Structures are given as structure tokens and as C-alpha cells.
Amino acid sequence: MNEKKYLKWYNKVGYGSGDIAGNVVYAFLTSFVMIYLTDTVGLNAGIVGTLIAVSKLFDGVTDLFFGSMIDKTKSRMGKARPWMLYGYFGCAITLVGIFAIPTSLGKTAQYAWFFICYTLLNAVFYTANNIAYSALTSLVTKNNKERVEMGSFRFIFAFSTSLLIQAITIGFVAKLGGGAEAWRMVAIIYAILGVITNTLSVFSVKELSDEELREDDENADKAAGDEKYSLIDAAKLLVANKYYLMICATYILQQLYSAMLGVGTYYMKYVMGNENLFSYFAWAINIPLIIALIITPSLVSKWKGMYKLNMYGYAVGTLGRALVVVAAYMGNIPLMFLFTGVAAFGMGPWQGDMNAVIAECSQYTYFTKGKRVEGTMYSCTSLGVKLGGGLGVAIQGWLLELAGYKGTLAVQPDSAINMLHIMYLWLPVIITLLITFIMSKMKVEKANAELREARKA
């Protein structure tokens, strides 16, 4: 029997366009904040890395808090959409703040300015917006195919935006005259674009009622008070779900991976001697990802699930990154482009279907604990993005400082060049290998199928 359909094509496209807003923040921040702070503002990479790491201490608590608040929210707009809408205005303001550090301030004040803006952006506003946005996958449809399609549209927009940001930002800053004022103006333009697209996305879908979300569940009457749980209860529910922990770990590793690829801004400038190559590698990453996202829904149907597709896809991704290392030491740039694309294509299916996997993860908690915690469950998306991305940028700073990198030097010491090889070439291979192992254990679809059968018995 075919599943009931809840969405039109324009609902899926409208929802997906919301990740334009997410990535004018995330892609801009992770790709360029460190080089802006070190080479334009003149801050110390190691100190910046430490500030980012300290900022991450706030994230775990706020992820659970906002996830729990979303689950408890009742409004005319639904549970998640109000948080998605209003949270983004704070994202826009704090993003501009990060790239508008006054050059007239002393160094201590500049570090404080950055820390406050960065912490508010990540721990408060981005958390509220991103958890709500991700949770909508479970709240606007119960059709698993539609959830996969929503994820595919979402990440098509995400990687298209990321590609655009990575491809044009350096040139855009240069055209505006370079320096601190140019970075601030670019941030303002991106923030305005984000506000517009986020607002359109919010109003492109409508959440289902609690009654409709539960109507097919057995013992629905027992679930009426499911949302009445404390923050500690929410944390216990998440920790008890092994698949949630796997997804969190995967998200964190993915963002560490992206942060290491972000070192490409340094690698292209100091190792390959042409910083404009960074934009070409952005094409080599994002175009194959977008192609993979387009075909992911049909592949999920063909493979009758997501488990094997994700596991084998990441195995291909690991092989691709290993071959990038070989090509780099051969000095063969065309082969580096080719294998970068192969790796990205292999990782694409997980990007398209992971929201559907999280929905399965949420269903697993319902089957095993009798609690509906969609908002809290999707905290893994925000937690992973912020913790992984933030730690990735922090690690960038620490490793560059350890290797003796100085943004004021035209020629970097050999120790810094060697470190760039490790960060841009070797660490991504190790990270993708770890993710492939986790994917081999991500059997939540099978677990839910067995639990459904047990409930019928």
C-alpha cells in the first residue's frame, strides 16, 4: 500500500531553500572566519582556537534546551516554525558582528568582541533556528519518501550555496577593496539574503497537528502527555538511543572533515601558490554532491532503504580522499580535482537522507520509550554542526599556531607547510574512515521494522 502524500513539489522546494539561509552563515563562517581573523584583523590563531573551544562548552546545554522547548511549543504556526523564523534574525545580527570587529579596538577587546558574537550566534540563535528547521522533516509529513526528498532538496540548496560562497567570497572581498570594511559589507549582504530565504522557507510548509502525527500509532491515547518531560529526562532519552549517539558522532566528524577542507584557503595560497584554486576545488566538491543528492531518493527506493546506500557511499568517499593524497604528492592537480569529486559523490547520499534517518531514530525512541521527542532528537543536527564545525576551526587555529604559522608572513616556515599537508590531505581520510565504520552500525531501519512486528504480535 502506498504511503499517504502530504506535500506538493513547491513545499519541498520551499523547505529546501531554507538551507540557503543556513549556509550563508555556516559556509561563510567555517570557510573564512579564521583567515579573516588572522590575516585581516591580525589575531593569534591559537588564541582564536581556544576561544572557539571554550564557546563550545555552552552548546550541548542549549541544544537540549531548544530541542525540548520546540517539543513543548504550541502556537498557531506549530512547534518548530516560530523558532526557525525568529531565531534567524539573531543569526543575521551576530554574523555581521563577527565580521565587523573594529580595527580601532585593542587586541583584548577584539578577542572579547569575537567571543561574544560567536557564542551568541552558535549557542543561541543558530541552535534555535537549525534544530527547528531540521525538526520540520518529522512535523510536516509522515511519508518517509517525502522526508528523503525534503532532505535532498535541502542539501541541494545547502551545497549550491556553499559552492557559491566558497567560489565568490575571496573575489567579492577583493572587489569591495579588501580589508576589514570589505569583509563587513560582504557579511551584511549575506545576512540580508539569509533573512529573506529563511522567512520564505518558514511559510512554504505547514506543520501537521499532534493528532494527525499520532493517528497511525498504536496506543496513541497513552502518548497524549509525551511532551511533559524535563531537560534531564530529554537528555536521558537521547543517551538511551544508540542511533542518536551514532548520528551525533557522524555529524561531528562531518563538520571536522569540512573544517579540514576549509584549510584549503591556506593550502592553495601557501602550498600550491594560487589561492584562487580554492574556488575550483569548491566546484569539484559541490557539483558531485548536488548530483548525488538529485538521485538519492531514487537510490533509496531502489536499494529499499538507506543503510547500505550510506555505508557503501562513504566507503567510496574514503577511497576518493585517499586517492586525493596520492595525486597531491604526485603534483597532479587534475587528478586531485577528479578524486575530490569522487569522494564528494560517495558522501552525497547520506547528506540527502540523514534527516529521514533521524526521523527513524526518533521513531525508535517512541517504540522503546513511548515518548515523542522530534525537536529534541533533531538537536543532533545543531549539536553536530556547531560542535564539529567549531572544534574544527579551533583545531585549525591550534595546529597552525603549533606549526608556527603567522598571518603577517608572506612565506610560511616549513613546519607550517608540513602541517597544511597533514590537515588538508591526511586528516580527511582518517575522518571518512571513521564515518564509514559508524555507517556500518547504523541499522535503525531494521530495528524499527522488528519493533513494529513485535508490537503487532
Average pLDDT over residues 29-44: 90
* Residue-wise DSSP of 70-81: HHH---TT-SSH
pTM score, whole prediction = 0.73
- Which pLDDT band, with edges at 50, 70 and 90, does 228 fall under? low
| CA–CA distance, 398 with 378 (Å, rounded to integer) | 30
234-282 confidence digits (pLDDT tens)? 788 888 999 999 998 998 899 899 889 989 988 998 999 888 898 899 8
156-193 confidence digits (pLDDT tens)? 898 899 889 988 998 899 999 989 999 999 999 999 99
Interior/surface letters 148-174, b for 16+ CB within 10 angstroms, e for the rest: bbbbbbbbbbbbbbbbbbbbebbebbe
Q: Which CA distances in Å does 181 have to 74, 186, 435? A: 43, 9, 40
**pLDDT at 209 (0 to 100):** 86
- Which pLDDT band, with edges at 50, 70 and 90, does 444 fall under? very high
**pLDDT at 373 (0 to 100):** 77
Q: Mean pLDDT of all residues in the chain?
A: 89
CATH number of 16-202+231-456: 1.20.1250.20
pLDDT for 224 beyond 70:
no
- Cell numbers standing for residue 349: 547520499
Angle value at C-alpha 348, between 149 and 189, nearest 5 degrees: 80
Average pLDDT over residues 216-241: 65
For 203-332, where are the alpha helices, taking DSSP H only?
210-214, 231-239, 242-262, 264-266, 277-302, 307-330
Average pLDDT over residues 340-352: 94
What percent of the chain is modeled with pLDDT above 90? 56
For 99-223, where are the alpha helices, taking DSSP H only?
107-119, 126-139, 144-175, 179-202, 210-214
Of 306, 303, 135, 164, which Cα lies nearest the Cα of 227? 135
The residue length of the chain stands at: 457
354-377 confidence digits (pLDDT tens)? 888 988 998 899 899 888 777 778
290: Cβ contacts below 8 Å, ≥ 6 apart: 156, 159, 160, 163, 348
- Identity of the residue numbered 91: C
pLDDT for 216 beyond 90:
no
Average pLDDT over residues 131-137: 90
415-424 confidence digits (pLDDT tens)? 999 999 999 9
106: Cβ contacts below 8 Å, ≥ 6 apart: none
**pLDDT at 60 (0 to 100):** 63
Average pLDDT over residues 34-38: 90
- Cell numbers standing for residue 125: 540563535
Residue 451 φ/ψ, nearest 5 degrees: -70, -35
403: Cβ contacts below 8 Å, ≥ 6 apart: 413, 415, 416, 418, 419, 420
| CA–CA distance, 443 with 215 (Å, rounded to integer) | 26
pLDDT for 408 beyond 80:
no
